[in-house]
């Protein structure tokens, strides 16, 4: 029975189609992401340049991700996803073709990372908003958790494939394979039965949609604190593609450990996502527990004496990270009105992914200046401080009537 409840959203044909296609496509996405990090590190040998690449990829989300969420609330999400996923497939094929032709330089990677970021800024709220439309209201938290499981589960295979294929095939074929993998999600989007979708009401045109969403979060004390924790943790503790390549090369002696360790982190991520999916609702208690697990595991991974020992620390790191995200998404969707879901999803994406242009370069500088170990550990320690402050704030409000009434 518990197992059935964990995967209850998959009773819906549309959900099975979409999650299946998304899983295949995201294996390719992580294949490209890992290969791109290896390519940039081979070209320059600097973690700072990795940080810049990651920053450019997520800068558009930071700059206009919230407005992209407002667009999502006013558009057909399935059709939007068909457009954005097609454009991302084209970006992957172009990158692979240029790499095969020997024309890839660091500026070329920067430009294509920025292009991918622009498209993803519109894809993210539409794709995640579509997940909510696949299932009944009672299963939204479960669907969001399974979505996290799919996104993180694909990271098990993508980085591992990159580690195995970069040597014999080179990075170009990793990019081309990613382009091909988009066929799976495009096919699933094309075959979804729109009659079975629980389409969210369209937000009206005009007005101040982004400010309305910000005011909604600000008025709800719990949501506001959760978003602040999301910003802090996302900015400093999730820059694995910046810290792990140099940590793998310098501490563990082989850059390929990056792909393998990231894959094991993802095993933990799937476990964390499914733990949340097995529950009827996301809870704030589990949110805080997950961040704590993430914060404690980070330093152990940073100073692991070998890649094999890194595997041991990588599992709880993944459990904490995915549990943190799945609980956050579930809590937000449980609280927000249906016509504001795209904007709330976009705001969380801005907080989670849009913070990367800030945290990525900082992490790269720390790796090059103070060592790769600190580039991973400092974010974990900041996260522990942040969750402690947030927990104390909410606890004070719940136990002090004067504060709660303010």
CA distance 208 to 321: 33
Instruction: Show pLDDT as tens, one digit a residue, over the chain (406 residues).
Output: 445 677 888 888 999 999 999 999 999 998 998 899 889 888 888 878 888 888 888 888 778 777 777 777 778 889 999 999 999 999 999 999 999 999 999 999 999 999 999 999 899 888 888 888 888 877 877 888 888 788 877 777 887 788 788 888 889 999 999 999 999 999 999 999 988 888 766 655 555 666 777 788 888 888 888 888 988 998 898 888 788 888 998 899 887 788 789 888 888 988 888 888 888 777 888 999 999 999 999 999 999 999 899 999 999 999 998 888 888 888 887 777 766 766 777 777 777 766 667 788 888 889 889 999 999 999 999 999 998 998 888 875 555 444 343 3
The token pair that represents 154 in the structure block: 């694909």
Residue whose token pair is 């600190």: 374
Question: What global pTM score does this model have?
Answer: 0.69
CA distance 12 to 187: 17
pLDDT at 84: 95
Strand ranges, E, within 107-252: none
Tell me the angle at which helices 307-335 and 221-237 cross, rounded to the nearest 10 degrees.
Answer: 160
C-alpha distance from residue 246 to each of 40, 44, 48, 107 (Å): 11, 12, 10, 21
Four-residue CA torsion sign, 173, 179, 184, 187 = negative
Residue whose token pair is 């792990």: 244
Q: How many of the other CB atoms lie within 10 Å of CB of 280?
A: 9
The token pair that represents 310 in the structure block: 């890194």
CA distance 245 to 248: 5
Domain definitions of the chain by residue range = 2-192+209-401
The phi and psi torsions of 371 (rounded to 5 degrees) equal 110, 150
Give 197's DSSP letter: -
Give 215's DSSP letter: H
Domain topology for 2-192+209-401:
Growth Hormone; Chain: A; (1.20.1250)
- Three-class SS state of 212: helix
CA distance 248 to 375: 12
């Amino acid at each position: 029975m518990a197992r059935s409840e964990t995967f209850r959203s998959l009773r819906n044909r549309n959900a099975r189609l979409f999650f299946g296609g998304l899983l295949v496509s995201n294996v390719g996405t992580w294949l490209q992401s890992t290969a791109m990090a290896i390519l940039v590190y081979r070209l320059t040998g600097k973690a700072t340049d990795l940080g810049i690449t990651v920053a450019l990829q997520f800068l558009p989300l930071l700059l206009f991700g919230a407005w992209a969420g407002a667009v999502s609330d006013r558009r057909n999400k399935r059709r939007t996803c068909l457009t954005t996923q097609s454009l991302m497939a084209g970006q992957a094929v172009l990158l692979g073709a240029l790499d095969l032709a020997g024309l890839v330089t660091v500026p070329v990677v920067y430009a294509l990372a920025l292009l991918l970021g622009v498209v993803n800024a519109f894809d993210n709220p539409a794709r995640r908003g579509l997940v909510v439309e696949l299932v009944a209201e009672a299963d939204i938290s479960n669907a969001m958790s399974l979505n996290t499981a799919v996104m993180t589960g694909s990271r098990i295979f993508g980085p591992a494939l990159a580690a195995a294929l970069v040597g014999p095939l080179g990075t170009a074929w990793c990019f081309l394979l990613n382009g091909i993998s988009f066929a799976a999600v495009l096919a699933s989007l094309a075959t979804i039965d729109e009659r079975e979708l629980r389409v969210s009401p369209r937000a009206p045109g005009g007005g101040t949609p982004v400010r309305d969403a910000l005011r909604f979060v600000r008025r709800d004390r719990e949501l506001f604190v959760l978003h602040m924790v999301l910003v802090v943790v996302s900015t400093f503790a999730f820059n694995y593609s910046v810290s792990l390549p140099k940590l793998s090369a310098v501490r563990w002696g082989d850059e390929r450990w990056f792909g393998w360790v990231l894959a094991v982190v993802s095993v933990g991520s799937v476990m964390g996502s499914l733990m949340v999916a097995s529950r009827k609702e996301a809870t704030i208690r589990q949110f805080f527990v997950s961040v704590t697990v993430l914060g404690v595991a980070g330093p152990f991974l940073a100073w692991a004496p070998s890649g094999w020992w890194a595997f041991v620390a990588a599992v709880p790191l993944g459990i904490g990270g995915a549990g943190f995200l799945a609980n956050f998404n579930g809590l937000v969707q449980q609280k927000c009105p249906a016509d504001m879901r795209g904007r709330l999803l976009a705001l969380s994406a801005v907080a989670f992914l849009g913070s990367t242009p800030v945290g990525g370069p900082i992490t790269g500088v720390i790796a090059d200046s103070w060592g790769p170990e600190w580039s991973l550990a400092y974010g974990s320690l900041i996260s522990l401080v942040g969750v402690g402050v947030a927990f104390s704030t909410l606890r004070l409000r719940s136990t002090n009537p004067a504060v709660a009434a303010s």
